[in-house]
Amino acid sequence: MKSQIATLVSTALEQLAQEGLLAADDIKTPVVERTRDSAHGDFATNAALVNTKAARMKPRGLAEKIVAALPESPQIAKVEIAGPGFINFHLTADAYHTVVPQIIEQAHDYGRSALGKGRKVQVEFVSANPTGPLHVGHGRGAAYGAVVADLLQAVGFEVHREYYVNDAGRQMNILAASVWLRYLELAGEELAFPVNGYKGDYVWDIAATLHREHADDYRFDAETVFRGIPADKPAGGDKEIHIDALIERCKHLLGDNRYRYVFELALNTILDDIRDDLEKFGVVYEEWFSERSLMESGAVNKAIERLRKAGYLYEDKGALWFRSTDFGDEKDRVVVRDNGQMTYFASDIAYHMDKLERGFDRVIDVWGADHHGYVPRVKAALTALGDDASKLDVLLVQFAILYRGGEKLAMSTRSGEFVTLRQLRKEVGRDAARFFYVMRKCEQHLDFDLDLAKSQTSDNPVYYVQYAHARICAVLRQASEKNMAIEPSQGTRNLEHLTEPHELALLNNLSRYPEIVEAAALNEEPHQLTHYLRDLANDFHTYYNAHQFLVDDDALRDARIKLVLATREVLRNGLNLIGVSAPETM
RNA sequence: GCCCUCGUAGCUCAGCAGGAUAGAGCAGCCGCCUCCUAAGCGGCAGGUCGGACGUUCGAAUCGUCUCGAGGGCGCCA
């Protein structure tokens, strides 16, 4: 409807240009938008305001000319000029009604479109290090990324969801060493666990598995393990040096095969846990992409070679640097450390190069906001490689702060005292968690009120929207109990009976849905959808309270049932897009 | 110090490719169940859109400055 009106307006402008009233090359594209106030009709355009200069006329005068030049349309009942020169369009009742059969016919496809023309988009999100369970911060990235991906898919992009598994870095070695040390403790050794080691309970669990399956096969006495190792922080040493030495000792004592085994056991256990966690959260991926595979395939070396050939690498203090300042970064960055190890950044360059080589038209990374300083260097690397960095879009997600009883929940990753995503799901449920996580735009800090998320009242937006859906289902059940036909008539038949203001408001809102999905997808803003759903649910609840649906008048009842069926469809589609269930009873 | 994000009603937030009297939900006050789920609905009250200057027919929206909150500035990931 919106685009139809836009076409009418631009036709009128073109005609005025032909008549010489407007300077053709000066015409500005007007905005056609929904009016905020129904007194202003259904749609409005600022065509006259925007083109006063091109016409050298006052806005209202130009508006009159535009209105006179508008082609006829059966959908439009009235056109008015208002305010400083807005042109307001009032739709016919019939134009309102057509949305109902459209929704019923398109069913779960209503709101979907082919806007993306099948272009390939990759969405990479969560990608948390597999060194422990996901916490509530990851949860927001998971919910947000999943909805953005689903939205893009809904508007016709071919979406590839991907989790980048950091299975190659130093952190993984620290994890493996941590598991082994816990194993030694389980086997009866007494030792001082390193400050920098992973201390969560899950480390004990993995160690227990190792101990159960291999008894003392991996055991060495504590003295052998710690002999000659530089002191840890509590003993006045450096915790980094201490843990690195322990890793080397661990590799040395266990040998390649056994070390590899511990490493893999830890990695796989945690990865399985993460995968299971996300799946239960309704988040699934097309691909889990291994960082190690980039190392093993030589992709990282290839990327470094390309940068070297392009002349953007230099050596300094024994390390290899990338001259990212050539591309606007604040300082140059190390890609190979003086100890010969690749930095995380090196594999990230290779990874992003690989993404573009795979032929995605667009690549979206969802990162925690604390990584924002990282964006310029990755873009710099892509530009240096001769790739189009504008294909990469990094969406930064702020932290979620949990509140319980009005109090902020203290969380520190250091001590291992963080609320996991699993705990959150268990406490508030998947639906509430998914909804709350995407209620705010991503760059906004999120205050997550656990009590509200659990409350079964209208204060809770999740229940509010779901309840609207359940209520409709209840109405339909009532209808069949009363032996009323819930198989509605075809097309727009009987819909002329929908004349109440509440009905028109609901119809109008239903017709907005495709525009909302489109805007939410293109702007990567799921919150637009949650706001819309709340609004739609409100229209429905208001209507429900004001009018009886299952009336004796057959034609009116038929019309209302159709309207309510259409509403249910849109509620269901919208909830589905944000990964929230649409219950039939509550 | 430099960079990024955010300052809108008591609280949590929409609105921001400039547009018609700034919106919602909580919380507060007042009403509504002989009627399809009151997990609901209606009404009232509540704002110098952090501040200043500028751009223009018009600024919460754009620009500069300023104040305040958070985050980032490793041969960590």
- Kindly report the length of chain A: 586
Which positions in strand B are less than 7 Å from the protein's CB atoms?
Answer: 2-6, 12-15, 17-21, 23-27, 32, 35-42, 57, 70-77
- Residue A482 resides in a domain: yes
ipTM attached to this prediction: 0.94
A35 touches strand B (CB under 7 A): yes
* Distance (Å, whole) CA A484 – CA A493: 17
- Residue A423 resides in a domain: no
pLDDT for A414: 46
Answer yes or no: do A83 and A190 share one domain: no
**CATH number of the CATH domain containing A551:** 1.10.730.10
A548 touches strand B (CB under 7 A): yes
A113 touches strand B (CB under 7 A): no
- Residue A248 resides in a domain: yes
* Distance (Å, whole) CA A118 – CA A81: 41
* Distance (Å, whole) CA A581 – CA A586: 12
A525-547 pLDDT per residue, tens? 999 999 999 999 999 999 999 99
Contact (Cβ atoms closer than 8 angstroms) between residue A100 and residue A495: yes
* Distance (Å, whole) CA A495 – CA A559: 5
* Distance (Å, whole) CA A42 – CA A44: 7
A285-308 mean pLDDT: 95
* Distance (Å, whole) CA A269 – CA A203: 10
Per-residue pLDDT at A157 exceeds 90: yes
- Residue A387 resides in a domain: no
Contact (Cβ atoms closer than 8 angstroms) between residue A37 and residue A10: no
Handedness of CA A150, A152, A158, A162 (dihedral sign): negative
Which of A56, A91, A126 terminates a domain? The answer is: A91
A51 touches strand B (CB under 7 A): no
Structural domain for A465, as ranges: 97-114+457-577
Residue holding tokens 């203290």?
A: A410
Alpha helices, DSSP H, located in A281-420: 291-296, 299-309, 344-357, 375-384
pLDDT for A411: 65
**A402 CA vs B10 C1’ separation (Å):** 21
* Distance (Å, whole) CA A112 – CA A75: 23
Higher pLDDT, A231 or A1: A231
Which of A238, A269, A300 terminates a domain? The answer is: A269
A194-239 pLDDT per residue, tens? 999 998 899 999 999 999 999 999 999 999 999 999 999 888 888 8
Please write down the HEC assignment for all residues of A382-431.
HHHCCCCHHHEEEEEECCEEEEECCEECCCECCCCECCEHHHHHHHHCHH
Provide the number of structural domains found in chain A.
Answer: 3
Per-residue pLDDT at A413 exceeds 60: no
- Residue A108 resides in a domain: yes
Which residue in A509, A511, A531 sits closest to A520, CA to CA? A531
Alpha helices, DSSP H, located in A215-284: 222-226, 239-280
Contact (Cβ atoms closer than 8 angstroms) between residue A19 and residue A42: no
pLDDT for A417: 60
Q: Which nucleotide is nearest to A461 (CA to C1')?
A: B25
Per-residue pLDDT at A111 exceeds 70: yes
Confidence at A483, pLDDT banded by 50, 70, 90? confident
Buried b (16+ CB within 10 A) or exposed e, A317-353: eebbbbbbeebebeebbbbbeeeeebbbbbbbbbbbb
Residue holding tokens 């260097």?
A: A377
Answer yes or no: do A34 and A105 share one domain: no
pLDDT for A369: 86
- Residue A366 resides in a domain: no
Phi and psi at residue A238, to the nearest 5°:
-105, 125
* Distance (Å, whole) CA A304 – CA A13: 55
A2-31 pLDDT per residue, tens? 878 888 888 888 888 888 887 777 777 788
Mean pLDDT of chain A: 91
Q: Which two tokens stand for residue A19?
A: 């008549």
Per-residue pLDDT at A416 exceeds 60: no
Paired strand residues for A560: none
A121-142 pLDDT per residue, tens? 999 999 999 999 999 989 999 9
Answer yes or no: do A469 and A573 share one domain: yes
Q: Which two tokens stand for residue A66?
A: 């535009």
Confidence at A282, pLDDT banded by 50, 70, 90? very high
Answer yes or no: do A109 and A80 share one domain: no
